[in-house]
């Protein structure tokens, strides 16, 4: 049995998450059946298999399961292009799942992002410069042009129901979007790398009451909540990876504690919110960006859990 980071069919209908869990624990009552996972929760890690077999390594690399690679440079005119992809995520793609089951959270998918599988094994996703609608084994695709065209292709309305305080305005839905393969590949790698780190963080000893890693279309970030919101002091925090915002032009990692922090601790360094951030520049050229991200999250986690 194998688990991966990106959502895969069949659709999960059990509450509360309506989606598969890549960090679920290992074999428990399955006897001799071994579970291969991208995290330390399983019986065997993808990284172990990849180290012994190059064909497995080739499979793992683009899926951020193992053999992690350096992140690329920030594309030119990034903020404008990112905002258009953000509009597509919250204004169209998330609406497909919401119309079916009331859930609007997205996930990282290879070469892009999209919904988990829902209903009768249906998924909507961005894959490079292409919008994809999959139903069972049937796959339809259309080039990304405008929000109006994307909504028509996916059979939903282009609306701003999933807007948050930091969401860019939907604007003219007939305006051509500045979305291309280079931009989507860059953001997909950012989300894939962060998803790998966050799923491993969920496996940490003491990681109580963990939510699931989701891509929130309104914020356009992947994030997870871990810790106790009722403890004294509060240990719960949001751990995430943003594609950038008005205060942070480039992508960045962040940790937002739900309770008070030690303002004398320089780790809590962000001026735009109460918490810590790590800029994209910290990853420049490093061969293991997932290790950098996990190290940052663990620093915050230890400060909150062990105090």
pLDDT at position 278 = 98
Q: CA dist 170 to 50, 76, 125, 276, Å?
A: 42, 22, 19, 29
> Is this prediction's pTM over 0.75?
yes
SS3 97: helix
Q: How many Å apart are CA 108 and CA 161, to the nearest integer?
A: 21
pLDDT digits (tens, 9 = 90+) for 44-70: 999 999 999 999 999 999 999 998 899
pLDDT at position 18 = 85
Give the pair of three-digit tokens for residue 61: 């690399």
pLDDT digits (tens, 9 = 90+) for 99-137: 999 999 999 999 999 999 999 999 999 999 999 999 999
Q: How many Å apart are CA 49 and CA 70, to the nearest integer?
A: 21
pLDDT at position 98 = 94
pLDDT at position 161 = 78
Q: How many Å apart are CA 179 and CA 156, to the nearest integer?
A: 20
pLDDT digits (tens, 9 = 90+) for 22-32: 888 765 555 66
High-pLDDT (> 70) share of the chain, %: 97
pLDDT at position 31 = 60
pLDDT band, very low/low/confident/very high, at 147 (cuts 50, 70, 90): very high
pLDDT at position 27 = 58
pLDDT digits (tens, 9 = 90+) for 240-271: 999 999 999 999 999 999 999 999 999 999 99
Q: How many Å apart are CA 216 and CA 223, to the nearest integer?
A: 8
Sorted by sequence, the CB contacts under 8 Å of residue 21 that are 6+ apart come out as: 3, 212
SS3 220: coil
236-243 contacts, C-beta under 8 A, 24 or more apart: 236/209, 236/304, 237/275, 237/300, 237/301, 237/304, 239/198, 239/201, 239/297, 239/300, 239/301, 240/194, 240/198, 241/190, 241/191, 241/193, 241/194, 241/197, 241/198, 241/293, 243/82, 243/86, 243/187, 243/190
- Residues 293 and 241 sit within 8 Å (Cβ to Cβ): yes
Average pLDDT on 69-79 reads 96
pLDDT at position 162 = 73
Does pLDDT of 202 surpass 70? yes
Average pLDDT on 197-204 reads 96
Q: How many Å apart are CA 199 and CA 22, to the nearest integer?
A: 7
| DSSP secondary structure, 22-47, as one string | TT----GGGTT---EESSTTSSEEHH
Is the Cα dihedral 136, 142, 145, 150 positive or negative? negative
pLDDT at position 184 = 98
pLDDT at position 33 = 78
**Average pLDDT score, the chain:** 94
């Amino acid at each position: 049995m194998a688990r991966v980071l990106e959502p895969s069919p069949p659709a999960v209908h059990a509450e509360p998450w309506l989606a598969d869990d890549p960090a679920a624990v290992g074999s428990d009552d399955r006897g001799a059946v071994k579970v291969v996972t991208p995290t330390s929760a399983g019986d065997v890690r993808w990284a172990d298999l990849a180290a012994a077999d190059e064909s497995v390594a080739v499979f793992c690399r683009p899926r951020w399961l193992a053999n992690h690679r350096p992140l690329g440079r920030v594309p030119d005119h990034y903020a404008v292009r990112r905002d258009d992809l953000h509009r597509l995520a919250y204004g169209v793609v998330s609406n497909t799942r919401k119309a079916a089951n009331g859930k609007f959270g997205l996930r990282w998918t290879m070469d892009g992002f999209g919904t988990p599988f829902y209903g009768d094994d249906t998924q909507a996703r961005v894959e490079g410069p292409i919008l994809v609608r999959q139903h069972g084994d049937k796959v339809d695709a259309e080039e990304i042009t405008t929000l109006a065209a994307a909504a028509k292709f996916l059979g939903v309305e282009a609306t701003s129901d999933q807007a948050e305080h930091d969401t860019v305005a939907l604007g003219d839905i007939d305006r051509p979007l500045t979305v291309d393969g280079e931009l989507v590949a860059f953001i997909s790698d950012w989300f894939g790398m962060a998803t790998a780190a966050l799923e491993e963080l969920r496996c940490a000893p003491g990681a109580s009451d963990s939510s699931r890693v989701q891509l929130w279309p309104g914020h356009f970030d992947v994030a997870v909540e871990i810790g106790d919101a009722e403890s004294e002091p509060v240990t719960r925090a949001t751990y995430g990876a943003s594609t950038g915002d008005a205060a942070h032009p480039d992508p960045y990692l962040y940790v937002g504690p739900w309770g008070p922090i030690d303002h004398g601790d320089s780790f809590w360094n962000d001026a735009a919110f109460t918490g810590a951030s790590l800029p994209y520049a910290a990853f420049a050229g490093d061969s293991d960006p997932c290790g950098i991200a996990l190290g940052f999250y663990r620093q915050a986690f230890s400060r909150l859990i062990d105090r």
